[in-house]
């Protein structure tokens, strides 16, 4: 299997997928929702899109840090003026 996520010739696919699993697990626990619902909410976020850009090293941050960014994104969306 060819890796989806490559950083400096190293396949980090497992690392990224594990990070996503950690984030969804923590989100599910905090929000008291199912893992599947948490996973879906996360992958629909801009934070997830940023995580997929391997060159920015977001994937190297802790799951908690990335989840904080996810919550910041959600707060900004709630306070943004409606067009």
Residue 47 in any domain: the answer is: yes
Q: Which two tokens stand for residue 13?
A: 């696919």
Residue 62 inside a domain? The answer is yes
Comparing CA positions, the residue from 24, 67, 22, 76 lying closest to residue 47 is 67
Structural domain contains residue 3? no
pLDDT band at residue 60 using 50, 70 and 90 as cut-offs: very high
Q: How many CB atoms lie within 10 A of CB 23?
A: 26
Taking residues 58-63, report their average pLDDT.
Answer: 93
Has residue 61 got a pLDDT over 60?
Answer: yes
Residue 21 domain-assigned (yes or no): yes
Whole-prediction pTM? 0.85
- Residue range 2-43, pLDDT digits in tens: 558 888 888 888 899 999 999 999 999 999 999 999 999 999
Which domain, by its residues, includes 16?
10-76
Please write the tens of the pLDDT for every residue from 43-56: 999 999 999 888 88
Alpha-carbon span 54 to 82, nearest angstrom: 32
């Amino acid at each position: 299997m060819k890796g989806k996520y490559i950083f400096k010739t190293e396949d980090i696919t497992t690392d990224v997928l594990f990070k996503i699993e950690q984030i969804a697990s923590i989100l599910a626990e905090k929000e008291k929702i199912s893992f599947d619902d948490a996973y879906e909410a996360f992958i629909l976020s801009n934070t997830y899109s940023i995580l997929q850009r391997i060159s920015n090293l977001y994937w190297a941050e802790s799951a908690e840090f990335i989840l904080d960014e996810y919550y910041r994104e959600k707060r900004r969306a709630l306070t943004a003026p409606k067009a």
